[in-house]
């Protein structure tokens, strides 16, 4: 799934602003790599980004994709989450939100819920340090996978 054009344009404008403020050169490769993450609701991993960008830019390397994604993460332009196979997946939505992850196919989708946004950290967690944010990751089976292979008893 692709994000709507308005959201994509907002993300790209933010990328331009933050890169300029950080003194990062806006190369065509960096912009295409960011655009691939920013335009997707799939939370792509680095290899997926590489395959998509390589179709448009055959000279891009997997190393460039990884370095760019980590640079964007360090700048706070994108975030990371772990997916089905524990590979790192990248997310251009840096607003507070949570995730639903299909345990069969790895499909990942954002959702927002004010209740989860206000979760209080248990005392045990607070002893580790100051909590800045919390994210909920709901794991289940997506509708498409259920249609292909229903759960036992369904």
For residue 154, pLDDT beyond 60: no
Q: Are 143 and 107 in contact (CB under 8 A)?
A: no
The pLDDT tens digits for 11-20 are: 999 999 999 9
The residue ranking higher by pLDDT, 118 or 71, is 71
CA 147 to chain centroid, in Å, comes to 26
- What's the farthest any 2 CA atoms get from each other in the chain? 57
The pTM of the full predicted model, rounded to 2 decimals, is 0.65
Give the number of C-alpha atoms closer than 13 A to the C-alpha of residue 68, restricted to the C-beta side: 27
- Whether residue 9 is predicted with pLDDT greater than 60 in this model: the reply is yes
For the record, the structure tokens of 128 come out as 């580790």
Contact 89, 81 (CB under 8 A): yes
Query: Three-class SS of residue 66?
Result: helix
Burial class (CB in 10 A: 0-12, 13-18, 19+), 146: middle
Quick one: pLDDT at residue 82?
Answer: 65
What percent of the chain lies above the pLDDT cut of 70? Answer: 94
pLDDT higher than threshold 70 for residue 83: no
| Beta bridge partners of residue 131, listed in sequence order | none
Tens of pLDDT, residues 101-152: 887 888 889 998 888 877 888 888 878 888 777 788 888 899 999 999 887 7
**At how many degrees (to 10) do helices 62-74 and 46-56 cross?**
120
Q: Domains, the chain, ranges and CATH?
A: 5-91 (1.10.10.10), 98-148 (3.30.1490.190)
Residues 90 and 80 sit within 8 Å (Cβ to Cβ): yes
């Amino acid at each position: 799934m692709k994000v709507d054009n308005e959201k994509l344009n907002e993300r790209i404008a933010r990328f331009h602003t933050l890169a300029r403020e950080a003194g990062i050169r806006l190369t065509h490769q960096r912009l295409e790599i960011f655009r691939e993450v920013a335009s997707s609701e799939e939370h792509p991993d680095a290899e997926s980004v590489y395959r998509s960008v390589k179709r448009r830019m055959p000279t891009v390397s997997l190393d460039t994709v990884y370095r760019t994604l980590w640079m964007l993460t360090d700048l706070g332009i994108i975030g990371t989450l772990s997916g089905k196979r524990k590979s790192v997946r990248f997310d251009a939505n840096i607003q507070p939100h949570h995730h639903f992850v299909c345990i069969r196919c790895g499909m990942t989708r954002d959702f927002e819920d004010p209740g989860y946004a206000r979760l209080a950290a248990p005392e045990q967690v607070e002893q580790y340090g100051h909590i800045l944010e919390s994210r909920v990751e709901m794991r289940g089976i997506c509708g498409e996978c259920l249609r292909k292979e229903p759960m036992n008893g369904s």
